């Protein structure tokens, strides 16, 4: 396994969107586009090739 990017940032519930139930009946939450941008501003490690 190789890590190419590591991020550490503070996101809030407002940064997430809820997804419909999946095939296994579980709910998931995913960061909105703006939440991902917020998280990626705080990178710790990034491979640039």
pLDDT in tens, 20-40: 776 777 777 889 999 999 999
Token pair, residue 27, equals 């709910």
Q: Please report the pLDDT score of residue 23 as a whole number.
A: 75
Of 41, 32, 35, 29, nearest in space to 5 by CA? 41
What is the distance, to the nearest Å, from the Cα of residue 45 to the centroid of all Cα atoms in its chain? 15
- For 9, 15, 18, 27, 37, the CA distances from 12, given in Å and listed in that order, are 10, 5, 13, 18, 13
pTM strictly above 0.75: no
Q: Please report the pLDDT score of residue 20 as a whole number.
A: 75
* Contact (Cβ atoms closer than 8 angstroms) between residue 15 and residue 38: yes
């Amino acid at each position: 396994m190789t890590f190419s990017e590591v991020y550490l940032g503070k996101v809030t519930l407002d940064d997430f969107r809820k997804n419909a139930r999946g095939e296994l009946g579980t709910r998931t939450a995913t960061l909105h586009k703006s939440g991902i941008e917020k998280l990626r501003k705080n990178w710790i490690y990034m491979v640039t090739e």
